[in-house]
């Protein structure tokens, strides 16, 4: 039963990584756009604390 649980765990890990990758890419695009517009990282952190 242990090998089956390990295989199931690996499948879950790969499945989650597969679905999170596009979200990470979108987040990186948003973050780079914020940097391109000149918003300082300190301001961005402060804004995220307010929300």
Whole-structure pTM value = 0.54
* Residue 10, pLDDT score: 95
Sign of CA dihedral 43, 44, 46, 51: positive
Q: What is the pLDDT of residues 1-51, one digit of tens each?
A: 799 999 999 999 999 999 999 999 998 898 888 888 887 666 666 666 655
Rounded Cα gap, residues 38 and 22, in angstroms? 25
Q: What's the confidence (pLDDT) of residue 13?
A: 95
Q: Give the integer Cα–Cα distance in Å for 41 and 11.
A: 36
Task: Give the alpha-carbon dihedral of 30, 31, 37, 40, to 10 degrees.
Answer: 150
């Amino acid at each position: 039963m242990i090998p089956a649980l390990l295989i199931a765990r690996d499948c879950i890990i790969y499945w989650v990584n597969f679905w999170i990758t596009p979200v990470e890419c979108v987040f990186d695009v948003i973050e780079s756009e914020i940097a391109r517009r000149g918003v300082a990282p300190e301001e961005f952190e402060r804004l995220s604390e307010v929300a």
